[in-house]
Chain A
Amino acid sequence: MKKQILLMGTLLLSSAMAFGAAFQLNLQGVRQLAMGGTGTAVPWDAATIFYNPGGLSALKHVQAYGSVQFLSANTRYVETPTGNYSANSREKLYTPFNFYVGGPVRYKSKLSLGLGVYTPFGTGIRWDDNWRGRYVVQDIQLQSVFFQPTASFRINDVVSIGAGFVIATGHVSIQRAVPIQNMNGQDGKAELSGNANGFGYNIGVHLRANDRVQFGISYRSSVKMKVKRGYATFTVPTALSSSFPYTAFKSDINLPQVVSVGVGIKATERLTITADANYVGWSSYDSLIFDYENNTASLQDTRSARRYKNTVIARVGASYAISRKFTGMLGAAYDPSPVRDGYLSPDLPDNDHVMATAGLVFKPNKRLSIMGVFEYVFTPKRDGSFDEANFSGRYQTRIVNPGLGISYDF
């Protein structure tokens, strides 16, 4: 037993992993994540409900699958071109989770059904209340949970198709200082929070060309997350309180569509190599608008241009069956930032992500799999400005992201 722990630890250490640029998380499926986030072509397990619904009918048994990540991101800001000011985002642990259940409606049926519950988008950063960028952001948290009932049909030995309907829920909260000072020189504060809802779909085709080569194509639609009734609280000097009333607000955040293509090749009996490309339609995130119900002369609706650009993510992965009970995975990915120069806001000081991943699957018996993954995300330092707020500087982010999962075939 001690040996196993040692082995797992060593592998985890030598591995590194990734998490997507901007606020797309790309953290579905422990095995897929450990293979650089590839999963469109090879339906390893029930996580294919996310990666490619068309692959679900390849599962021989109904499978229940659960995993959780322990993601911690550190961002550092320094002033440019020179100076002595720096700030670190506060340490915070995020735990995106996934749960999938699915498989054939009965043994050897062509029809498979499933349900995925997963967290595809999310972000958060907390700066010190008195930091230099406090009028832009002090704290922002964006969470989402998608529920995706899914059906998949095996047309013949080569082609399978699948589709899922996405019911999205989420929560957004933002806190920033307001540049209105009281008699003691303390800033005002704005706190906004609200629940968001939206709908979308996820469709895919899986092709088993032969025993060695598989292909996959999937399309995840954009999801318009609507905050229909959030609430804004303003803390300002008493004399101005009527100018900043407690008010409801509306906002929309358009989560991007994603087109994925993938290939998986069984190079040897033990080794499988995969590669995916994702086209992410980030241009859907054009602006962030807050529409306040009670407008006053001082409290007007706000529109912050973001103008994200569409990106293509490249991913590669490998899986190697070490023994009957152990399989090891490695992967890497490159996820370019959708954030243009001039739009680099400290609420998401994004840059290109370079990700290295590794993982291990332990299969103590035919039905049970225990999976571990470690992802390390490196972003090069980036000099940039958020022109709208005339706030500029240099940012660097590091992310470490271990995760654990378990699956059971019934």
Chain B
Amino acid sequence: MKKLYILGLMGLMMASCKPNIEPAAPSGGEGVDFTRYVAVGNSLTAGYADGTLYRSGQKSSYPAILAEQLKTVGGAKEFRQPLLPGEYGYPEPKFMLMMNQGLCDTVASLGPMRYKGALDSIGSSLNIYTQDGPFHNMGIPGIRCIDFLLPGYGAINPYARRMFVSPAGSRPVDETVIMKPSFFTLWIGSNDVLGYATAGGDQAPAAIGSTNQISNVDLFNAAYDTVLSNLRRNGAQGVLLNIPDITSTPFFTTIQAKGLMLTKNDANLLNNAYNSLGGLIRFNEGANYFIIEDSSSPVKFRHIKEGEYILLSTPQDSLKCAGWGTKKPIPGRYVLTANEVSKIRSATASFNNIIYLMAKRENIPMVDVNAYMRTIQAGIVFNGAMFNTTFISGGAFSLDGIHLTPRGYALVANQIIMAINAKYKSTIPLTDVNKYKGVAFP
């Protein structure tokens, strides 16, 4: 009996020897109300990834990730998003990594290809406002800042059409405030320069209403001001996000300007063929600059230079077996020349200046995504996982080279949380980036 008593006492002592620390409870800070958080933005806000929009991508959009963290400080239990029914993309099928053998490849290699199986997008085009709206996530893929003032925008954008209360009549800015947000994030403006860049710059057709021209700065300013003023109308607090330099994304950096590898023999053959140009075109054994189209050059083509970019959309088979970049110049629509790059950078700087001034005027925090993207470019580590802007292996960018992976979006959500905490004296915990998906390998 006494023995049992002693054993019991020892057991009790063992149990009391367990560590007993608990995490500190987060606080919601001062002067801010997270009960109705609305995210306004474009594809980056919608959770677009791998060249399309699909359900699991939407579920790990940065607004959804942020809303999850805001729950710890009084945010709404439910964060409503215009979820698609399918996993394989709408309207286009998504990019997935697969083994692929191109026309001129001797062996198959791993690369992103559009999914070729049956799509699960039935019902995706239906308007779901009555059924599921209004939505906390007002991320509309493709929308430019200047489109927010366009009445009937829902009629021309399939994503807007399925989530707006009156797609054919309303302006997007009116749709974003239906919920009377108490808190918002605003990340717009990327498409006001992206369309130009992905179309190869000045080679894009400049038809009226086309989205592949850089937006007028004054129109941008007016539209941004209207959107922000509407969001602020009921005294809502929020965070602005600026525009990352699009040319630092893998879509523009993956195919190296000096990425043309030649044998001595091939270099000689090409030099002989271009001999008549008097040394304008010159190849060496090893790494060479590709040949690109350039209407300002006397012969309408030239070597590409450092600081100019070849787009990820350039057909690989044309590079590998149709002689693009060697025998034929790479068409201008797949290239950003120095002149075009400078237009993109200067527009980005102007738009970012507008966003900076608006944040200052409204006295609300701004996340400098542009600066943060440069940090990722240099490489960052989160809980032991490394991220950089390298295509596929970098982990932050999805397979379209422009949009982020769920982990990349989680990194952005953490930047927003840090901005909120700094401004509103809150202690919202950062999310564990690695609980979301990165790039999936077969």
Complex alpha-carbon distance, A381 and B22, angstroms: 11
Least Cβ–Cβ distance between B96 and chain A, in angstroms:
8
Q: Which residues of A contact B97 (CB under 8 A)?
A: 239
Q: Determine the residue in chain B with the shortest Cβ distance to A91.
A: B18
Please tell me which stretch of B7-15, B78-86, B286-294, B364-372 contacts chain A, meaning at least 4 of its Cβ atoms lie within 8 angstroms of it. Answer: B7-15
Complex alpha-carbon distance, A398 and B20, angstroms: 10
The majority secondary structure among interface residues of chain A is mixed
Please tell me which stretch of B123-131, B132-140, B381-389 contacts chain A, meaning at least 4 of its Cβ atoms lie within 8 angstroms of it. Answer: B381-389
Least Cβ–Cβ distance between B388 and chain A, in angstroms:
12
In the bound complex, do residue A82 and residue B18 qualify as a contact, i.e. CB atoms below 8 Å apart? no
Known A-B contacts: A81-B427, A81-B429. Give 12 more (CB < 8 A).
A13-B13, A76-B19, A79-B429, A83-B24, A84-B429, A135-B385, A181-B440, A381-B21, A388-B381, A389-B381, A389-B384, A396-B19
Q: Which of A6, A238, A400 contacts B442 (CB 8 A)?
A: A238
Complex alpha-carbon distance, A83 and B26, angstroms: 6
Q: Which residues of B contact A82 (CB under 8 A)?
A: 23-27, 72, 427-429
Q: How large is the interface on A (under 10, 10 to 19, 20 to 34, 35 or more residues)?
A: 35 or more
The residue in A136, A182, A185, A376 that gathers the most chain B C-beta atoms within 10 A of its C-beta is A185
Complex alpha-carbon distance, A79 and B431, angstroms: 11
Q: Determine the residue in chain B with the shortest Cβ distance to A75.
A: B19
Q: Determine the residue in chain A with the shortest Cβ distance to B9.
A: A13
Tell me which residues from 138 to 177 in chain A have a Cβ below 8 Å from any Cβ of chain B: 176
Least Cβ–Cβ distance between A369 and chain B, in angstroms:
22
In the bound complex, do residue A136 and residue B19 qualify as a contact, i.e. CB atoms below 8 Å apart? no
Q: Determine the residue in chain B with the shortest Cβ distance to A188.
A: B441
A-B contact count (CB 8 A): 133
In the bound complex, do residue A237 and residue B383 qualify as a contact, i.e. CB atoms below 8 Å apart? no
Q: Which residues of B contact A398 (CB under 8 A)?
A: 17-19
B314 within 8 A of A: no
B373 within 8 A of A: no
Tell me which residues from 368 to 402 in chain B have a Cβ below 8 Å from any Cβ of chain A: 380-386, 395
Chain B residues proximal to chain A, CB less than 8 Å? 2-3, 6, 9-10, 13-14, 17-27, 72, 97, 99, 110, 380-386, 395, 427-429, 432, 434, 437-442
Q: Which residues of A contact B384 (CB under 8 A)?
A: 133-136, 176, 179, 389-391
Complex alpha-carbon distance, A396 and B22, angstroms: 10
Q: Which residues of A contact B72 (CB under 8 A)?
A: 82-84
In the bound complex, do residue A132 and residue B432 qualify as a contact, i.e. CB atoms below 8 Å apart? yes
Contact A239:B110 (CB < 8 A) given known A9-B10, A84-B429: yes
Q: Which residues of A contact B25 (CB under 8 A)?
A: 82
A86 within 8 A of B: yes
In the bound complex, do residue A185 and residue B440 qualify as a contact, i.e. CB atoms below 8 Å apart? yes
Q: Which of A76, A81, A179, A180 contacts B24 (CB 8 A)?
A: A81
Tell me which residues from 1 to 54 in chain A have a Cβ below 8 Å from any Cβ of chain B: 2, 5-6, 9-10, 12-13
In the bound complex, do residue B432 and residue A5 qualify as a contact, i.e. CB atoms below 8 Å apart? no
Q: Determine the residue in chain A with the shortest Cβ distance to B7.
A: A9
Tell me which residues from 174 to 204 in chain A have a Cβ below 8 Å from any Cβ of chain B: 176, 179-185
